[in-house]
Amino acid sequence: MIAAHKKFNDVVRILVNAGANPSYISSQKRMALYYGNDETRAIILGYNGPEYRKRKIYEAVQENSVDGVKYLLKIGKNIDEVGEQGNTPFLLARQSGNAEIAKLLVTFGCNRFAVNSDGDNALILAVKNGRNEVITILHQVGFHFYDIKNGKSLLMIAIEFNHIEVAKQLLMYGQDITYQDPSGKNALFYAIEYGRSDFIVYLANQNTFNSRVEGCDAMLYACLKGKQAVLEELIKLNFISSKKDAFLMACRGDNVNICDFWIRNGIDINSTNSDDESALMISLKYGFRVPGYLLNHNPNINYTNSRGHSAFSYAVLYENPFSRRNACKNQS
């Protein structure tokens, strides 16, 4: 038995070369995988055949084959050869979340900082695909966690792709929650824009609710973007600014559901902004859906502001044919 164990690799090789099928009996295959070394496993699993030698490492990565990757590395295959979309084997391992293969590739000296044809490195791919374990490994091997992709931080990317646990992990690794993209939006406003109400709860204790974008605080921005679930979450958190301004912002954003929400909660349908524009005027200026909704709820169609403008003149001024027709009908 001892002699057989010591010569196991040679025996397996001889049997395979003689045409034996070692995987025919499952117990034999299990013994080979258990007792053999990496070379033996490659033989048993068919990785050392002439056809397999032609394969690329990224193909073995796509199959999540650790033994296949090991064999191809040991026979000198190009560790950084790119496959589909310009992904190296390491990038593919990051994307699929195969931490074992990723560690193996790092051990063999792969280019950890390669980028694919989309400009994504391993860390960005891990964030986009929600690979917490992979992100942990990248942190351990010294990846820079302050990368910016098209003006977006890793935290913003995690929120965009709805990986809230990844976002929390990135904050733990030092991501700047106050970072603003070129448009002035920080992580809070990304959470609002993408409707991530669960992340809003997490941000409640992160001191980010005082920021503004496009003149909007968090609640106004939720109304502008039509994110009712986020709006209701903000209200639960007692983050309430001006309800009237929130209603008018929903009119500006042409968001019927949120306009209806505020009207059902007692907001005056004839509210005006600081420019003396009524809700109906604002809706005629910016949208097509809310005007019809408001006209069905009996607004003051004859209201004229300090500049002498009425709803009808706004419909004409802003070339809103649907609303102009309805405003004219209601005015007659």
pLDDT per residue as tens digits for the range 164-195: 999 999 999 989 888 999 999 999 999 999 99
pLDDT digit string, tens, across residues 96-123: 878 888 888 888 888 888 888 888 888 9
**Residue 207: pLDDT over 70:** no
As a whole number, mean pLDDT of residues 199-218 equals 80
Top mean pLDDT of 87-96, 113-122, 302-311 is at: 302-311
Q: How many CB atoms lie within 10 A of CB 185?
A: 21
Return d(Cα 174, Cα 135) in angstroms, integer.
13
Q: Which two tokens stand for residue 170?
A: 């990135």
Q: Which two tokens stand for residue 117?
A: 């044809």
Residues of the chain with pLDDT > 90, as a percent, come to 42
User: CB–CB of 174/152 below 8 Å?
Assistant: no
Contacts of residue 207, Cβ cutoff 8 Å, sequence gap at least 6? none
* pTM of this structure: 0.72
Q: Which two tokens stand for residue 162?
A: 């709805």
- Provide the Cα torsion 275, 280, 284, 288; round to 10°: 140
| pLDDT at residue 4, rounded to an integer | 42
- Local confidence band at 273 (pLDDT 50, 70, 90 cut-offs): very high
- Local confidence band at 292 (pLDDT 50, 70, 90 cut-offs): very high
Using DSSP bridges, classify how beta strands 148-149 and 152-153 pair: parallel, antiparallel or unpaired: antiparallel
- Local confidence band at 21 (pLDDT 50, 70, 90 cut-offs): low
Strand partners, 272: 278
Return d(Cα 68, Cα 42) in angstroms, integer.
7
**Residue 255: pLDDT over 90:** yes
- Local confidence band at 230 (pLDDT 50, 70, 90 cut-offs): very high
- Give the chain's domains with CATH numbers: 255-331 (1.25.40.20)
User: CB–CB of 32/41 below 8 Å?
Assistant: yes
Block residue for tokens 């986009």: 128
Amino acid (one-letter) located at 116: N
Amino acid (one-letter) located at 103: K
What Å distances lie between residue 132 and 88, 100, 106, 144, CA to CA? 20, 14, 18, 16
